[in-house]
Structure 1
């Protein structure tokens, strides 16, 4: 027997604009530069503002408008049936301020050094993943897939089980069909063939994304897809007979297969590779004050194309748009809305980044003034409460972004750590404790280095109560050998 039931549930859905803003928040400076260049290619309404053009605009004076003509224009636009008001957008002071802030400043260009950072292949895959056009749920799934890769770069987990676990434990819902699509996108990241489920799939992905001779690539693909067992068992005579190949053709196809990489993870997917890092923020001390700036001079400045705005405005003034122009008008209007939200999202991203970095600077002022030993305990919630934002927003900004200051270059995550209470009632961060352990080891007797128990007792004398096993853990994280290996004969 059928029955009808009513069920009420509260769901929070993000608008496309909110999703776009959150994705932009995750990007570091270099990734943002590429994202803007991509948007400039996709949206004709957007155009890059060149530095020379900006200087000319600053020198030109805007002619004063006659009030009566303004009123006439306003009346014309008020009678329009369009969903947006071009005149309002063009003259809106808030948007003008946003465009002005997005433009590069004309200060003398400074050259900032870049830090050498060791980054694993898994981290690089995550960075590439964030460049893909994925929903937030798909992005989380993709990060889990990359996190599950084995040392050779293979995805040996059950994808269906991973999808179910995400729904059960994290409330993330992605269909198995969409999960397959995400996996296939990951498999085409660099190195191509990563996240394959077996050797056959790994080699086929590489063939299909290669630039080898099309004919021999086609033969190689047929060998791998239809005669894989014969191939791995080197039954080349059977392959030649079944595919009716000449000896030269078979050799050429096999030569392509031999160039493929059977282990895209190279056996060390978590090993570190040297990469240069461009800091996202610059903190400089001027007199007695610290000044925070976004290191975004290389990021293209974008604005709305005046040419396309005039086309939209002309169409808007027409009482009736001809049929042949309606599609073009609809296209331009959609691109205009997209461009408007993209620019607003860029500006909102900029403001959010500056707010968070400024709050970190204020909370960790002693660190920037005196160094690592003065780093205070701080968690994401501390900054979220300080500036009135969600913890998830703080997490997006902090992840993968770097700041250059008089104390060196640090990832923003560095400034967040749990705290430990001391005998005098103060709290110190675990990073401070690590600095103390490092200092103790540097100043210990070279012929009789301290054991972990001795280091723990020295810290206790300073009012810091910490277990020997915790000292051992921190020492290992600092890559300081055990006492017997630190001993030197004097």
Structure 2
């Protein structure tokens, strides 16, 4: 049975301004400039004074502060309108935040990292192919092989698939033997090991480019061709028996294999998209006093366009308003609103960033002074959220995408957060401290007899950290440290 009834509900709904602020807060400094340029292109009522040329007029009208074109009666009419023009008739300096967060020389910040102009991996192979005297068909097959290589230099496409591509796309009919012959030519190019089908063939190709009469090279080829699995698992005892080597000879053979490049395509690969980290904050140590500054790129020179303010004032005071004029007034009003909202969101972003980072800096003051991870206190998002009186989600958005530059490196804010671990004395310490101890223990271990997780657990317990073995294994994996067997060296 269908019924109609009325209900009252309380719902939390974000306003457009709040949504815009949240999106801006998540944007890192490296992407903020792009976001501001997009807004400048979309909204003509928003201006960046630094982009204006010296001879560019600021307004098509006279300065509002220097003219008295309208009488008091007209001003009273505007005050009763739902849109207050006076909100936008402000001094330009009220919306200019660049001087508040100046950090270093502007010319220094505008410097760009130069990128060396080099041949890419595929261009280098093509240049070598051009130098080989080949028939037209072989040349086409060679280009097909080069184009089928992966970025790491391997040829993982089946030969039959390349033959089909040549037949259907270029009307070139070749036999499988022809492709294999051309593949051998490509494999003779630099870098060594190129166009291999797997790791075993890649390493073998590189070794065969060396002095094959050298006994060490011969043994290395034998290990790669017949005992690669034992080598990767570091079963050195089995290798000594299988290949007939003593420990010293095996040590030389292993060193020779480790010098090979498992990804030859990366050796001459120019990365066009470089990961560029621009710190959002800077912390300097001034005789034991930490000083926090915000990167000036976070404080752009933005203001509401004086031309659009004058334009709206002019339209709003017009004696007669037809439909088109009202639409023009509404359009200008919308753009002015949007510009003011964006500037306010940028200002709020700056205040939130500084407030959050200032709380993190004071919470981890000893760590930022000494750069000793053992001084890092346990800290979770709620600790900072309670300090600054903001929601945990706000702190999370700042911590997950912002970097701080210190005198001992540049770090993601998220890295300063850690869980608490209780020692035997009842004292709470950060798990960063435990990880640092594990890293030191593994770094100082005898690589011929690396410490197993059980032994590491015992060492920690001796130092007062009562931690389970599985927790030690979890921390070791988080630090990308392999198990003891794979850390073994001769």
Alignment of 1:378 onto 2:375? no
1:206-217 correspondence to structure 2 within 5 Å? none
Verify the 8 A CA contact 2:316 2:329 in the aligned structure 1.
no
Alignment of 1:414 onto 2:412? no
Separation in 1 of the partners of 2:72 and 2:407?
53
Task: Provide Cα deviations, 1:243-273, integer angstroms capped at 9, x if missing partner.
Answer: xxxxxxx959xxxxxxxxxxxxxxxxxxx99
Verify the 8 A CA contact 1:33 1:299 in the aligned structure 2.
no
Separation in 2 of the partners of 1:114 and 1:466?
47
Verify the 8 A CA contact 1:398 1:412 in the aligned structure 2.
yes
Verify the 8 A CA contact 1:103 1:302 in the aligned structure 2.
no
Normalising by structure 1, we get a TM-score of 0.59
TM-fit CA distance, 1:104:
7.1
TM-fit CA distance, 1:96:
4.5
How many residues align? The count is 330
> Measured at CA, do residues 40 and 103 of structure 1 come closer, stay the same or move farther in structure 2, by a change above 3 Å?
farther
Q: Please identify runs of 4+ aligned residues in structure 1 that moved more than 6 A.
A: 51-54, 72-75, 112-115
> Measured at CA, do residues 359 and 114 of structure 1 come closer, stay the same or move farther in structure 2, by a change above 3 Å?
farther
Separation in 2 of the partners of 1:51 and 1:362?
37
1:153 matched residue in structure 2: none
Out of 72, 75, 89, the residue aligned to residue 77 of structure 1 is: 75
Out of 105, 124, 127, the residue aligned to residue 108 of structure 1 is: 105
Q: Which runs of 5+ in 1 are unaligned?
A: 55-62, 116-231, 237-249, 253-271
1:89 matched residue in structure 2: 88
Task: Provide Cα deviations, 1:354-391, integer angstroms capped at 9, x if missing partner.
Answer: 10011110111111112222221111111110000011
Q: Secondary structure, in 3 states, of the residue corresponding to 1:389?
A: coil
Q: Secondary structure, in 3 states, of the residue corresponding to 2:276?
A: strand
TM-fit CA distance, 1:97:
3.5
TM-fit CA distance, 1:467:
0.8
Q: Secondary structure, in 3 states, of the residue corresponding to 1:90?
A: coil
Separation in 2 of the partners of 1:479 and 1:108?
39
Alignment of 1:99 onto 2:96? yes
1:220 matched residue in structure 2: none
Verify the 8 A CA contact 2:424 2:465 in the aligned structure 1.
yes
Separation in 2 of the partners of 1:482 and 1:312?
70
Separation in 1 of the partners of 2:85 and 2:378?
49
1:183-262 correspondence to structure 2 within 5 Å? none
2:361 matched residue in structure 1: 361
Verify the 8 A CA contact 1:356 1:387 in the aligned structure 2.
yes
> Measured at CA, do residues 397 and 298 of structure 1 come closer, stay the same or move farther in structure 2, by a change above 3 Å?
closer
1:22-421 correspondence to structure 2 within 5 Å? 22-50=22-50, 76-80=74-78, 81-91=80-90, 96-101=93-98, 105=102, 108-109=105-106, 110=108, 275-297=275-297, 300-371=300-371, 372-421=373-422
1:136 matched residue in structure 2: none
Q: Secondary structure, in 3 states, of the residue corresponding to 1:30?
A: helix
Verify the 8 A CA contact 1:114 1:277 in the aligned structure 2.
no
Separation in 2 of the partners of 1:351 and 1:374?
28
Task: Provide Cα deviations, 1:188-234, integer angstroms capped at 9, x if missing partner.
Answer: xxxxxxxxxxxxxxxxxxxxxxxxxxxxxxxxxxxxxxxxxxxx9x9
> Measured at CA, do residues 76 and 484 of structure 1 come closer, stay the same or move farther in structure 2, by a change above 3 Å?
same
Task: Provide Cα deviations, 1:275-300, integer angstroms capped at 9, x if missing partner.
Answer: 22222222222333222222243874
1:436 matched residue in structure 2: 437
Verify the 8 A CA contact 1:283 1:292 in the aligned structure 2.
yes
Verify the 8 A CA contact 1:45 1:339 in the aligned structure 2.
yes
Verify the 8 A CA contact 2:88 2:304 in the aligned structure 1.
no
Question: Which deviates further from its counterpart, 432-441 or 5-14?
Answer: 5-14
Verify the 8 A CA contact 2:101 2:295 in the aligned structure 1.
no
Separation in 1 of the partners of 2:450 and 2:73?
85
TM-fit CA distance, 1:394:
1.0
Verify the 8 A CA contact 1:29 1:296 in the aligned structure 2.
no
> Measured at CA, do residues 2 and 478 of structure 1 come closer, stay the same or move farther in structure 2, by a change above 3 Å?
closer
Normalising by structure 2, we get a TM-score of 0.59
2:469 matched residue in structure 1: 468
Separation in 2 of the partners of 1:97 and 1:6?
47
Separation in 1 of the partners of 2:449 and 2:482?
14
TM-fit CA distance, 1:32:
1.5
> Measured at CA, do residues 74 and 34 of structure 1 come closer, stay the same or move farther in structure 2, by a change above 3 Å?
farther
> Measured at CA, do residues 75 and 32 of structure 1 come closer, stay the same or move farther in structure 2, by a change above 3 Å?
farther
Separation in 2 of the partners of 1:82 and 1:423?
70
Q: Which runs of 5+ in 2 are unaligned?
A: 55-62, 114-160, 171-270
2:16 matched residue in structure 1: 16
Separation in 2 of the partners of 1:391 and 1:24?
17
Separation in 1 of the partners of 2:76 and 2:111?
53
> Measured at CA, do residues 423 and 444 of structure 1 come closer, stay the same or move farther in structure 2, by a change above 3 Å?
same
Separation in 2 of the partners of 1:114 and 1:474?
38
TM-fit CA distance, 1:112:
10
Separation in 2 of the partners of 1:74 and 1:363?
56
Q: CA RMSD in A?
A: 3.8
Separation in 2 of the partners of 1:28 and 1:334?
28
Separation in 2 of the partners of 1:96 and 1:75?
29
Verify the 8 A CA contact 2:32 2:298 in the aligned structure 1.
no
Q: Secondary structure, in 3 states, of the residue corresponding to 2:460?
A: helix
